[in-house]
């Protein structure tokens, strides 16, 4: 066994750069816990970066990196569901373990990706895809493995929660708070996935698959966002003693076993 674990990071935006910085800042602790040296050997980037260690190879050829003999684990942070899928499948084909936070990709193509990973005897780790700061994926898969889960619910989109909280606490209209969320970096320039509930639906599909032992079924999730919520709705709810929150909710409706998804509701 090699004394080092060699990483490739595909994508050098805010997240990819942050991953490199976290690894560099915590090298000693990572080595203590793993018993191995953790080395970033290659990064995939569209343009050369002068602020990256010169010992790290930079390339725009992501498929070549995913197949490189100088890589043990591929960390995918490019986003999207097309190129990201291609490079992950390439990495798996070449025996690389994969780490990704790409909940859209996994929700839509996870069944194929996980099956291919099992066939090639590698792992796909995706804790950061759903509430990574809690965390929840590892807890459900391991700590709760002996428990039968009948339902789960939670606020799983931070941007929507920020908007609803600001509307209630400060009496601000939706459009005003959304603009601030974009300025703060909470929401993307195109906030559709957040405010229309698509991001939450992706996460719910992943959670339900683990909780109920069913295939990923993003297309079965009933999805409704918060764009139709007005300040008047928030105020009326407050007068009646309620608060409006955007929730992901999954439940067994008929108590059927894990192998049958007919009784599972996702919304």
Catalytic amino acids?
Answer: 203
- DSSP-derived 3-state class of residue 231: helix
**DSSP state at residue 80:** S
172-179's contacts with Cβ under 8 Å and 24+ in sequence apart are 172/231, 173/230, 173/231, 174/226, 174/227, 174/229, 174/230, 174/231
- Cα–Cα distance, 129 to 218 (Å, whole number): 14
- Cα–Cα distance, 249 to 265 (Å, whole number): 8
User: Are the CB atoms for 107 and 206 separated by under 8 Å?
Assistant: yes
- Upstream peptide bond of 6 is cis (omega within 30 degrees of 0): no
Cα Rg, the chain, nearest whole Å: 21
Helix, strand, coil share of the chain (percent; to 5): 45, 15, 40
Contacts of 93 (CB under 8 A, 6+ apart): 67, 116, 120
Whole-angstrom CA distances from 10 to 25, 42, 69, 97 are 19, 8, 16, 13
């Amino acid at each position: 066994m090699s004394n080092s674990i060699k990483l490739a990071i595909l994508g050098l935006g805010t997240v990819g750069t942050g991953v490199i910085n976290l690894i560099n800042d915590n090298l000693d602790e990572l080595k203590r816990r793993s018993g191995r040296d953790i080395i970033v050997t290659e990064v995939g980037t569209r343009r050369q970066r002068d602020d990256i260690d010169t010992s790290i190879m930079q390339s725009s050829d992501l498929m070549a990196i995913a197949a490189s003999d100088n890589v043990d684990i591929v960390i995918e942070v490019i986003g999207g569901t097309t190129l990201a899928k291609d490079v992950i499948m390439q990495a798996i084909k070449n025996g690389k373990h994969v780490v990704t936070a790409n909940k859209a990709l996994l929700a839509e193509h996870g069944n194929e990706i996980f099956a291919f990973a099992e066939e090639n005897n590698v792992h796909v780790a995706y804790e950061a895809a759903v509430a990574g700061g809690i965390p929840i994926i590892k807890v459900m898969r391991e700590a709760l493995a002996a428990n039968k889960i009948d339902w789960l619910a939670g606020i799983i989109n931070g941007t929507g929660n920020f908007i609803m909280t600001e509307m209630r606490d400060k009496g601000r209209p939706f459009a005003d708070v959304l603009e601030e969320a974009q300025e703060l970096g909470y929401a993307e320039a195109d906030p559709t996935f957040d405010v229309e509930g698509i991001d939450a639906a992706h996460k719910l599909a992943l959670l339900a698959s683990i909780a109920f032992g069913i295939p990923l079924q993003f297309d079965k999730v009933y999805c409704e966002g918060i764009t139709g919520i007005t300040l008047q709705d928030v105020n009326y709810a407050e007068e009646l003693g309620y608060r409006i929150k955007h929730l992901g909710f999954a439940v067994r409706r008929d108590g059927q076993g894990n192998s049958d998804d007919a009784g599972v509701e996702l919304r």
